[in-house]
Amino acid sequence: MKIKKVLIANRGEIALRIMRSCKEMGIATVAVYSEADKFSPHVTYADEAYLVGPPPSSESYLREDYLIEIAKKSGTDAIHPGYGFLSENARFAKKVSDAGLIFIGPSPEAIEVMGSKLAAKAAVAQYDIPLVPGTEEAITDIPAAKVLAEQIGYPILIKASAGGGGKGMRVVEIPDDFEEQMDRAVSEATSSFGDGSVFIEKFINSPRHIEIQVLGDQQGNVVYLFERECSVQRRHQKVIEEAPSAVVDAEKRRKMGEAAIGVAKSCNYQGAGTVEFIMDEQLNFYFLEMNTRLQVEHPVTEEITGVDLVKEQILIAEGNSLSFKQEDLKINGHSLEVRVYAEDPKNNFLPDIGKLSTYKRPQGVGIRVDDGFEEGMDIPIYYDPMIAKLITHGKDRNEAIRRMIRAIDEFEIVGIETTLSFCKFVLQHDAFTSGNFDTKFVEKHFKPELLNEPLSVEEEKILALLASKLSKEAKSAHLPSNSGSSEIKESAWRRNRQHLS
Ligand code: ADP
Ligand code: ADP
Ligand code: MG
């Protein structure tokens, strides 16, 4: 069935991203928004927009029945959930189809199976997919689990089966801490995810996080669109992603791709999905989980494959079979994404909210900015603090990196601390440029002091001009050339510059 109108049950950059593809396909768009997002670009960009409630997500973007009611009233055929919010909620997906609408995503059954890390492990069991050594079932008997933990070998990781977004994980270094950490993990899992099931996994020291993008149609065809390396993380959450990975060769890529296809087939996957793997120092890979939605970092895959993943999601939801085969897909060049979060990297990456008093995007060849804000807007405290995704594409990894550094230098954000300075630090670090890095990058290589970088050539020039102007002024006023006032101005300038970078 041809989709003519889509309601986007999301906000910010991803809502806009989805609307853009709809527009190119001649599909009308319906936005929903909370009171905090009244002036957001996704609201003005859409053909129609409806207020859904006050700022808290539970009273707006998560109002399942109300969203469906708006979809029906506005004559919408389909709902796109984006990422986060209702995107991995099987009950919502079912309600949407029960209401006679198309859910742009996989079936409720696939979401349900893959939404539970334990059910996912069970589902893939028949597909010969490597798993991290650990328990296959929820832990009910703590002493027995402790014996198992000894067999697996410390350190181990206690994980919430229903966890997500980097939350619900606890590392246990020594057997003595086992019981206490177990108690905490169960109560955290219960309070955060409404499901206290936890299991144990071997804690892989310094792993890489590498994931495979897949697309599956309703006819049962599944292809993989290569890997994304997402190892640069803070709090188990990604900040820099790239495609392809610097350490995956053609043979490994094929093996990981085929494993990802197995995972997708184990749940009859339809639409765009991501199979996440963890990779140890010997480059062995193990299945972690499948995300049954569009991923934040999907643009790097679009850049290297030329495939618009949102369009494919819509075409699949309409019932079309994939228009390409595995052998038609090729990697073209290299792409990087940095997430620009409203966070202060000098202060433990704590959220920093406020007004975007200056907001100027970088431009030029090979640069893409996916965002949902304009200059003068406030970053609301109610939602994820991501301001923008900055994406570059280059003929190779080196060009993509250099382009990203240029783009970061051109990006002017004043009023809010962001992760841009941290990202620039990473991109210039030997560990990153050599490809020899893992999920411990921040712990191993980063200290807030390191962000006080040396001045660039341009900045040195401005400083020299300022100094000579001041010295001329001082001379004409018969003052010693290196007077205090010029030093004060210079240090004030240096301080201001910190806010600009
Ligand atoms: P990605 O895997 O694409 O990097 P994440 O897994 O971090 O993205 O999740 C994408 C978005 O969904 C983020 O905004 C994150 O905060 C949110 N999210 C994902 N899973 C959960 C969860 N279980 N609880 C709360 N928020 C979640
Ligand atoms: P989430 O649902 O929160 O995304 P994941 O299982 O995908 O949970 O894990 C998120 C991150 O946690 C991984 O990218 C990795 O950095 C770390 N991690 C997960 N499992 C392990 C493990 N067994 N050993 C070491 N680190 C892990
Ligand atoms: Mg994950």
CA separation for the pair 133, 190 (Å, rounded): 24
Single out the residue in 315, 332, 349 at which a domain terminates.
Answer: 332
The two three-digit tokens of residue 357, written as one number: 């008093």
φ/ψ of 103, rounded to 5, equals: -90, 120
Q: Provide the percentage of residues in the chain whose pLDDT is more than 90.
A: 87
Tell me, yes or no, whether 426 and 489 share the same domain: no
Residue 166 Cα, ligand 2 centroid: separation in angstroms? 7
CATH code of the domain containing 156: 3.30.1490.20
The two three-digit tokens of residue 301, written as one number: 């895959």
Query: Ligand 2 pocket, 166 CB below 6 A?
Result: yes
Report whether pLDDT(496) > 50: no
Read off the pLDDT of residues 55-72 as tens digits, 9 standing for 90 and up.
999 999 999 999 999 999
Please report, for the chain, how many H helices and E strands are present, in that order.
17, 20
Q: What is the DSSP string of 151-162?
A: HH-SSEEEEEEE
Single out the residue in 270, 305, 332 at which a domain terminates.
Answer: 332
Burial 247-281 (b: 16+ CB within 10 A, else e): bbeeebbeebbebbbbbbbbbebbbbbbbbbbbbe
pLDDT, averaged across the chain: 93
Name the residue range of residue 152's domain: 133-202
Tell me, yes or no, whether 310 and 400 share the same domain: no
> In the predicted model, what is the mean pLDDT of residues 461-477?
75
| Residue 484: per-residue pLDDT | 44
Answer whether 399's CB lies under 8 Å from 334's CB: yes
Identify the nearest ligand to the CA of 209 by its number.
2
Tell me, yes or no, whether 373 and 424 share the same domain: yes
Query: Ligand 2 pocket, 366 CB below 6 A?
Result: no
Report whether pLDDT(20) > 70: yes
pLDDT band at 353 (very low <50, low <70, confident <90, very high): confident
What is the domain count for the chain? 5
Query: Ligand 2 pocket, 439 CB below 6 A?
Result: yes
Report whether pLDDT(104) > 80: yes
Residue 222 lies inside a defined structural domain of this protein: yes
Residue 97 lies inside a defined structural domain of this protein: yes
Residue 100 Cα, ligand 1 centroid: separation in angstroms? 28
Residue 485 Cα, ligand 3 centroid: separation in angstroms? 54
Of all protein residues, the one whose alpha carbon is nearest to atom 14 of ligand 2 is 209
Answer whether 343's CB lies under 8 Å from 352's CB: yes
Report whether pLDDT(39) > 50: yes
Report whether pLDDT(229) > 90: yes
| Residue 478: per-residue pLDDT | 60
Tell me, yes or no, whether 363 and 384 share the same domain: yes
| Residue 481: per-residue pLDDT | 44
Q: In the structure, which protein residues have their CB atom closer than 6 angstroms to any atom of ligand 1?
A: 83-84, 164-165, 237-238, 291, 295-297, 384
Ligand 1: atom nearest CA of 192 is 24
Residue 276 lies inside a defined structural domain of this protein: yes
Read off the pLDDT of residues 384-439 as tens digits, 9 standing for 90 and up.
999 999 999 999 999 999 999 999 999 999 999 999 999 999 999 999 999 999 99
> In the predicted model, what is the mean pLDDT of residues 487-495?
44
| Residue 165: per-residue pLDDT | 80
CA separation for the pair 284, 280 (Å, rounded): 6
The two three-digit tokens of residue 52, written as one number: 């859904």
Lowest-pLDDT choice from 17-26, 237-246, 490-499: 490-499
CA separation for the pair 399, 427 (Å, rounded): 12
| Residue 461: per-residue pLDDT | 78
| Residue 489: per-residue pLDDT | 43
| Residue 452: per-residue pLDDT | 78
Ligand 1: atom nearest CA of 293 is 3
Report whether pLDDT(499) > 50: no
Tell me, yes or no, whether 223 and 302 share the same domain: yes
Report whether pLDDT(491) > 50: no
Report whether pLDDT(382) > 90: yes
Tell me, yes or no, whether 388 and 473 share the same domain: no
Single out the residue in 104, 122, 146 at which a domain terminates.
Answer: 104
Residue 85 Cα, ligand 2 centroid: separation in angstroms? 20
Beta bridge pairs of residue 286: 278
Report whether pLDDT(303) > 50: yes
Report whether pLDDT(26) > 60: yes
| Residue 458: per-residue pLDDT | 75
Of all protein residues, the one whose alpha carbon is nearest to atom 2 of ligand 1 is 295
State CA 43 to chain mean position distance: 22
Residue 315 lies inside a defined structural domain of this protein: yes
Read off the pLDDT of residues 112-137 as tens digits, 9 standing for 90 and up.
999 999 999 999 998 999 999 999 89
More confident residue, 476 or 480: 476
CA separation for the pair 276, 283 (Å, rounded): 14
pLDDT band at 471 (very low <50, low <70, confident <90, very high): confident
Tell me, yes or no, whether 326 and 217 share the same domain: yes
Query: Ligand 2 pocket, 155 CB below 6 A?
Result: no
Tell me, yes or no, whether 11 and 93 share the same domain: yes
Out of 11, 293, 339, 403, which one is annotated catalytic? 293
Tell me, yes or no, whether 179 and 245 share the same domain: no
Whether 293 is catalytic is yes
CA separation for the pair 335, 354 (Å, rounded): 30
CA separation for the pair 292, 211 (Å, rounded): 13
pLDDT band at 168 (very low <50, low <70, confident <90, very high): confident
Tell me, yes or no, whether 211 and 282 share the same domain: yes
Tell me, yes or no, whether 318 and 234 share the same domain: yes
Residue 110 lies inside a defined structural domain of this protein: no
Query: Ligand 2 pocket, 441 CB below 6 A?
Result: no
